[in-house]
Amino acid sequence: AADLGRRARRATDVLARRVTGDYEVDELGFDRELTEAVLLDLLRPLHRRWFRVELRGAEHLPRRGGALLVANHSGTVGIDALMTMVAVHDDAPGGRHLRVLAADLVLAAPVLGDLARRAGITLASPDDAERLLRAGELVGVWPEGYKGVGKHFRDRYRLQRFGRGGFVASALRAGVPIVPCAIVGAEEVYPKIGDLAPLARLLGLPYVPVTPFFPLLGPLGLVPLPSRWVVELGEPVRTDLAPPATADDPAAVLDLADQVRETIQASLHELLLHRRSVWR
């Protein structure tokens, strides 16, 4: 109770100073104080009580300096990135903030886009990625994009293409390691069994999902299913040991991207093999 009271007082003070303008953000809009006092607290009930996220391999994250975390994407609405942010901050040594790279659709959304910027989320562009990595930040990327997060439930835990490997080139140029990350549990949060394509085109969205409960149950169908999650971090890929010109070699970049993808896919298979239940 004392801890809750202390956190509530801190959150109130932080929010009050946002009204008066007495606060600072970095060049990309990240508000560290607001994130720590308010935004992470809003996500923790989902992380700790609903999904019961377990972080494994935390020792593979560097305590300081730049690194690129690369993960599989799923969950229909991209909630996996948010839960990974909380897990890295709360459960890994050093309490680091994961600077997530997101699609422009997220950052352009009213209210949501501003909150995302405040939480340290920025545009998934090579320039922003390299700038953050060179500044010593821990950056997270989900290279499958909409193809991964919006795939049909029958394709769960099957990695989609990683694009052209732009994330690898950014890590190579910044001279930072790549940390593969396998996430199990997010696929079952909103099992996508269909797509309202005409409505998606009307709204300018990549898809409008149909799940066993949405839109059948209306707003109640938006409640995520309480699957149990595991976020497993693998051994870092030492891109800093690659020859200097590797980042400008498309074939080498794609080859390294495929290696990271295969590492994550193998980790997913291993985690699923030993998973006793989706829910506990």
The domains of the chain, with CATH numbers, are 1-189+224-274 (3.40.1130)
For 232, the token pair is 């497993």
Return d(Cα 12, Cα 28) in angstroms, integer.
Answer: 24
Q: What is the dihedral of CA 106, 148, 58, 128, to 10 degrees?
A: -40
Strand, coil or helix: what is 2? helix
Per-residue pLDDT reduced to its tens digit, 84-136: 999 999 999 989 999 999 998 899 989 999 999 999 999 999 899 999 999 99
How far is the C-alpha of 26 from the C-alpha of 86, rounded, in Å?
A: 20
Residue 129, H or E segment: helix 126-134
Question: Can you tell me whether residue 160 is helix, strand or coil?
Answer: coil
Q: How confident is the model at residue 13 (pLDDT cuts 50, 70, 90)?
A: very high
Question: What pLDDT digit, counting tens, does each position of 212-248 carry?
Answer: 999 999 999 999 999 999 999 999 998 878 887 899 9
Give the burial string for 119-143 (b: 16+ CB within 10 Å, else e): bbbbbbeeebbbbbbeeebbbbbbb
Q: Which residues 6+ apart lie within 8 Å of 56 measured at CB?
A: 230, 231, 232, 233
From residue 225, alpha-carbon distances to 70, 83, 84, 152 in Å are 25, 14, 17, 16
